[in-house]
Amino acid sequence: MNTPSDPVNIMIIDDEVENLNVLELMLREKNWIVWAFRSGEMALASARETPPDLVLLDIRMPGMDGLEVCRQFKADAALRAIPILFISALSATADIAAGFERGGADYIVKPFRQFEVLVRVRAQLALRNIRRGSRVGWSNLS
């Protein structure tokens, strides 16, 4: 169960280095611990060793795409409760629906805006804490 002093660990998975850098900087400014990966395979291996609190996940990636990464997170009992926020340039209704159908908790269309990303990350972390029975809510996730 999280307390206000527990660090928040966020995993970013995107094959584009620029996206990783922008998101990593944005999240680290909030004093969150960030793990960045350019492939789904590497991210899954890391998550199985040390599960993150939340995942930001691109859909279009070489090799294992984001939908498959999400499917594998949700198929793993130790990882399935981790909220996954898709961040993708795919903006068609069918693409967004596919993300939710695979178990995504939210979907942000690229180009993303910092305010939107931070609000959605905070909301998912607060919901996650509520589901775990923690009293750490929105106000503690500055």
Residue 81 has which token pair? 């409760």
Residue 1, in any domain of the structure: no
Residue 65 has which token pair? 């795409």
Q: What are phi and psi of 4, to 5 degrees?
A: -55, -25
Task: For residue 52, give the H/E element and its range.
Answer: none
Number of domains into which the chain is organized? 1
Task: Quote the pLDDT of residue 136.
Answer: 54
Question: What is the rounded average pLDDT of the residues 84-95?
Answer: 97
Residue pLDDT, tens place only, 40-82 = 999 999 999 999 999 999 999 999 999 999 999 999 999 999 9
**Helices 66-75 + 93-101 axis angle, to 10:** 20
Domain that holds residue 83: 9-134
Residue pLDDT, tens place only, 3-24 = 555 789 999 999 999 999 999 9
Residue 102 in contact with residue 70, Cβ under 8 Å? Answer: yes
CATH of the domain at 118: 3.40.50.2300
Task: Quote the pLDDT of residue 141.
Answer: 54
Span of 40-49, 108-117, 126-135 with lowest mean pLDDT? 126-135
Which residues are CB-contacts of 81 (< 8 A; sequence separation ≥ 6)? 128, 131
pTM: 0.90
User: Is the pLDDT score of 2 beyond 50?
Assistant: no
CA neighbor of 77 nearest in space, from 55, 47, 108, 99: 47
